Amino acid sequence: MIKNYVKIAWRNLLKNKSTGFINIVGLAIGLAVAMMIALWIQDELSYNKYHKNYDRLVQAMIHQSFNDQTSSSKAIALPLAEALRTNYADDFKSVSLTSWNFEHHLKYQERKIKRSGMFTQPGLPEMLALDLIQGTYQEVLKNPNSILLSQSAAKVLFGEEDPLQKTINLDQRTDVQVTGIFKDLPDNSQFKSSDLYLPWDLYLAQNDWVRNAQDQWGNHSFQLFAQLSDQADINAVNGRIRDVEHEHNKDGNPQVFLHPMDKWHLYSEFKDGINVGGRIQFVWLFGIIGVLS
C-alpha cells in the first residue's frame, strides 16, 4: 500500500515539476524554521539553569515612588546586605554584595588583555556554583589582593603556564594574585560576561565613596545576590523584608523585594511596581509562529 502511494506521488511530481518543487522547498523551509524556533525557545527557557542553585538564587531589588510613578531597580543600598544577614538569618543561606560588571585591564609580563568582571563578597562563587578548575570556594577571594579568573581569560594571559599564584597588574593600579580558575560559563548564563571576580575588600580599599556608603541607605549604587535557605518561601520573605530600608530612608517610600533567578531573563520588566513580563512575550510569539509554520 505504501509503495503504491510513493509511486503515485512520484508520478504526480514528474507531471507537475514546478508545483512539486515549490511544495518541497516550502515544506523544507517550514521545517527548518520550526526547528530553529524550537532550539531558540529551548535556549531561552533553559537560561541560567547551568547554576545548580538556580531555584534558590535571588537578586534584591527596590521599588520607589516619585511623582505618582513607581520605578523598580536592581541598584540597592550597601547596608541592606548586613541587615539581611543579621535580622533575617534564617531566610538566607548566603548574601553577597557586588559591584556592577566593569571592564578591567590585566597585565602579566608583556601580555595585556581587557576583561569584564565584578568586585564581590566571598560567597558569590559558591552561590553560583562556579566550576572551579583550580582553587577552592573558601580561599579564592579570601585575600584582599586576589583574583578569580575564567579559564579562557587565564589561557590568553598565561598561555601554557600554570596561572595559580601568578601575580598580575590590575588596572595599572595594584597587583593581585591568581587564587582560582573557573570553567567558562555557557552563553545562556546571566554571568557569562564576567570573566573575573575581585574581593569586596579591595573595592573598599580603593574607593572612599564605597567605604562612605556603608551606612548610607539612600545611596543605591550596588547589587545584591542571595541564596535562600532551603525552607524559606520567597513570598513570605518578601513580606518580611519589604520595609527594611524604609526604617532608615523614607525617600520615595522604598520597598525591598527579591527577584528570583528563574525570572531574571524572561520576566525582567516592571511597570508601576508590577512585573509585566519581558522576553517571555517573544517566546510565546515565536512559539505560535513555529506551530503555524
Q: Which helix (H) or strand (E) holds 157?
A: helix 151-158
pLDDT tens-digit profile of 95-143?
999 999 999 999 999 999 999 999 999 999 999 999 999 999 999 999 9
Arithmetic mean of pLDDT over the chain: 92
In this prediction the pTM is 0.89
Q: Is the predicted pLDDT of residue 6 greater than 60, yes or no?
A: no
User: Per mean pLDDT, which range of 2-6, 121-125, 205-209 is the poorest?
Assistant: 2-6
Cα distances from 43 to residues 113, 124, 264, 266, in angstroms, run 30, 24, 14, 11
Let me know: does 196 contact 149? Beta carbons within 8 Å: yes
Identify which of 145, 148, 160, 146 has the alpha carbon closest to the alpha carbon of residue 111: 160
The domain locations on the chain are 2-45, 57-275
pLDDT value of position 24 = 62
Q: What is the DSSP letter of 186?
A: P
Task: pLDDT band for 37, please (50, 70, 90 cuts).
Answer: confident
Residue 253: half-sphere exposure toward Cβ, Cα within 13 Å: 8
Take residue 170 and report the three cell numbers written for it.
590590575
- Burial of residue 85, with CB atoms counted within 10 A of its CB: 0-12 exposed, 13-18 middle, 19 or more buried: middle
Structure-derived torsion over alpha carbons of residues 239, 213, 82, 48, reported in degrees to the nearest 10: 70
Chain centre to alpha carbon of residue 125: 12
Q: Report the alpha-carbon distance of residue 81 to residue 21 in Å, rounded.
A: 65
Q: What percent of the chain has pLDDT over 70?
A: 89
Q: Is the predicted pLDDT of residue 5 greater than 70, yes or no?
A: no
pLDDT tens-digit profile of 127-137?
999 999 999 99
pLDDT tens-digit profile of 212-234?
999 999 999 999 999 999 999 99
Q: Report the alpha-carbon distance of residue 170 to residue 203 in Å, rounded.
A: 12
pLDDT value of position 1 = 57
pLDDT tens-digit profile of 151-186?
999 999 999 999 999 999 999 999 999 999 999 999
Chain centre to alpha carbon of residue 112: 26
pLDDT value of position 39 = 87
pLDDT value of position 120 = 98
Beta bridge partners of 277: 269
Q: Is the predicted pLDDT of residue 269 greater than 90, yes or no?
A: yes
Q: Is the predicted pLDDT of residue 241 greater than 70, yes or no?
A: yes
Let me know: does 171 contact 104? Beta carbons within 8 Å: yes
